[in-house]
């Protein structure tokens, strides 16, 4: 009886967390908050944001990180604009620090929600698309996760969901995410530091930049590929 009551309480907590997440996503689109996460909106509001940062530095940093964490945790659009905003407001180095840490925390929250609350739902919705990612993450862990973060083969949010469905340790996911998104994060944040010169978000990640990321991803994957080759030759 006590076990049943405890299970009911746990399920009720899960339901409330899911309800809050769904409500937050619905409100985001209902109020069309995405209109504030555009390049045009960032450029037109940059000076006002800089003025706020000059007088309320700690609050601005905390507010920015909170928004970035929520955006990533709920898989909402706008990550690229937030990274540009980090560079425009805080500069290349501090902006990269704030953006990368925030994105890593948000991704970890999405990972935990998927693992403990949404496993059955996500498998039903994305099961076939996630099968290959799941298998590689379980077998090669950190190396494969670094590869996925460095090389944009799959959407960022999909990797969070996929990893949450595997037995990948939380610390491995957090470390792989934190290290893997630094190069891409720096590219966008550094571009944001020269916001006036940007005409489109899509033009920031040039083929040369993407090629560099692919090379880094290959180096990250080499130990796993070597291990796989060694096992196949036995």
Burial class (CB in 10 A: 0-12, 13-18, 19+), 203: exposed
| Closest by CA position to 184, among listed 107, 68, 111, 99 | 99
Mean pLDDT of 90-118: 93
The predicted structure's pLDDT at residue 45? 95
Q: Which two tokens stand for residue 29?
A: 């689109």
Calculate the alpha carbon distances from 105 to 29, 49, 93, 178, 228 in Å.
23, 24, 18, 9, 31
Q: How far apart (Å, rounded) are the C-alpha atoms in residues 38 and 151? A: 24
Instruction: Note the pLDDT of residue 79.
Output: 94
CA atoms 141, 143, 146, 151: torsion sign = negative
- Residue 68's pLDDT band (cuts 50, 70, 90): very high
Cβ proximity of 172 and 108 under 8 Å: no
Residues whose CB is less than 8 angstroms from the CB of residue 104 and which lie 6 or more positions away in sequence, other chains included: 174, 177, 178, 181
Does the structure show a pLDDT above 70 at 227? Answer: no
Are 42 and 84 in contact by the 8 Å Cβ rule? The answer is yes
Q: For residues 58-84, give the mean pLDDT.
A: 96
Q: Quick: pLDDT tens for 120-141.
A: 766 666 666 666 666 666 667 7
How far, in whole angstroms, is CA 57 from its chain's centroid?
A: 24
CA distance 93 to 130: 34
| pLDDT over 60 at 23, yes or no | yes
Least confident of 60-69, 120-129, 172-181: 120-129
- Structure confidence at residue 220 (pLDDT): 66
pLDDT: which is higher, 204 or 159: 159
Exposure string of 56-85, with b = 16+ CB inside 10 Å and e = fewer, is eeeebbeebbebbbbbbbbbbebbbbbbbb
pLDDT-derived band of residue 119, with 50, 70 and 90 as boundaries? Answer: confident
User: pTM for the complete prediction?
Assistant: 0.85
Query: In this predicted structure, what is the pLDDT of residue 9?
Result: 63
- Which of 141 and 108 is assigned the larger pLDDT? 108
């Amino acid at each position: 009886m006590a076990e049943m009551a405890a299970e009911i309480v746990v399920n009720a907590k899960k339901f409330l967390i899911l309800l809050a997440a769904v409500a937050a996503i619905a409100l985001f689109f209902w109020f069309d908050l995405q209109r504030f996460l555009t390049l045009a909106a960032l450029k037109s509001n940059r000076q006002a944001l800089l003025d706020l940062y000059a007088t309320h530095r700690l609050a601005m940093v905390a507010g920015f990180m909170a928004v970035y964490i929520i955006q990533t945790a709920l898989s909402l659009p706008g990550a690229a604009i937030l990274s540009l905003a980090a560079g425009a407001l805080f500069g290349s180095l501090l902006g990269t620090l704030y953006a990368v840490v925030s994105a890593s925390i948000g991704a970890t929250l999405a990972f935990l929600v998927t693992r403990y609350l949404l496993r059955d739902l996500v498998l039903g919705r994305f099961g076939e698309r996630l099968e290959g990612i799941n298998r590689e993450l379980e077998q090669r862990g950190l190396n494969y996760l670094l590869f996925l973060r460095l090389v944009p083969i799959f959407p960022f949010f999909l990797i969070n969901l996929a990893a949450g469905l595997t037995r990948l340790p939380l610390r491995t996911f957090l470390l792989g995410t934190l290290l893997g998104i630094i190069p891409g994060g720096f590219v966008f944040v550094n571009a944001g530091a020269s916001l006036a010169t940007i005409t489109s978000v899509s033009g920031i990640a040039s083929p040369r930049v993407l090629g560099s990321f692919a090379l880094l991803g290959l180096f990250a994957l080499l130990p796993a590929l070597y291990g796989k080759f060694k096992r196949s030759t036995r």
